[in-house]
Amino acid sequence: MIIAIDGPAAAGKGTLSRRVAQEYGFHHLDTGLTYRATAKALIDAGLPLDDEALAEGVAREIELADLDREILSAHAIGEAASKIAVMPLVRRALVEAQRAFSVRAPGTVLDGRDIGTVVCPDAPVKLYVTASAEVRARRRFDEITGNGIPADFLEILADIVKRDERDMGRADSPLRPAPDAHLLDTSEMSIEAAFWAAKTIIDAALKH
């Protein structure tokens, strides 16, 4: 049983995916962390972010068990991840690891940009979680300032718009909903409401 959850940056996929995985007792993989870990390993080694063969080599060394969300959550790492994510060889390496994870028993939840379209096109349940760029920027702004760190709303909004363009505009595996994905627009929803909407969709799919 595979649950595929895709959507743009800061749409609330991560929180929703963890909650869904917990509800069903499934393993969860935030595939964004695999791109982030590859980017961070390159940066830490002082290597360039535009050498595809080098980045592929690093991607093949990524251990899923070692992915640390706290460490990888830095904004700069997300930006770098979005840049190496346009490279087909990097994607191929990481998608192989993600597919191997996806078949774990009793089931898995994978979240990212291309799970329903490329990584697990046969997943029986696909959700595409989105929200307007303004709402996503507002949530990120509240999260950052809630931690006592000053932030600039317009700068965050511009970053989100730029990231969307890069993720949706790349040639290999662009972000888009799979034709059979259920769309979940959380612009006007709390996390709790989004969870219950997702649960209704998943339970209906599990019955089939």
Is residue 160 near ligand DC by the rule CB under 6 A? no
Closest distance to ligand DC from the beta carbon of 188 (Å) = 22
- Bridge partners (DSSP) listed for residue 183: 128
Is residue 28 near ligand DC by the rule CB under 6 A? no
Is residue 116 near ligand DC by the rule CB under 6 A? no
- Bridge partners (DSSP) listed for residue 71: none
CA atoms within a 13 Å half-sphere pointing along the CA-CB vector of 146: 6
In which order are the strands placed within the sheet that holds 27-30? 27-30, 108-112, 2-6, 125-130, 182-185
Closer of 56 and 167 to ligand DC (Cβ): 167
Quote the CA–CA distance of 123 and 193 in Å, as a whole number: 23
Residue 80 has which token pair? 């770098």
Q: What is the 3-state secondary structure (H, E, C) of 167-183?
A: HHHCCCCCCCCCCCCEE
Is residue 164 near ligand DC by the rule CB under 6 A? no
Give the residue, chosen from 17, 31, 108, 186, that forms a contact with ligand DC under the rule CB under 6 A. 31
Print the binding letters for residues 52-91 with ligand DC: x by CB under 6 A, - otherwise.
--------------------------x--xx--x------
Closer of 166 and 199 to ligand DC (Cβ): 166
Quote the CA–CA distance of 208 and 204 in Å, as a whole number: 7
Closer of 47 and 67 to ligand DC (Cβ): 67
Closer of 31 and 108 to ligand DC (Cβ): 31
Is residue 113 near ligand DC by the rule CB under 6 A? yes
> How far out from the chain centre does Cα 63 lie?
17
Closest distance to ligand DC from the beta carbon of 193 (Å) = 22
- Bridge partners (DSSP) listed for residue 27: 108
> What is the binding site for ligand DC (CB under 6 A)?
9, 31-32, 35-36, 78, 81-82, 85, 112-114, 163, 167
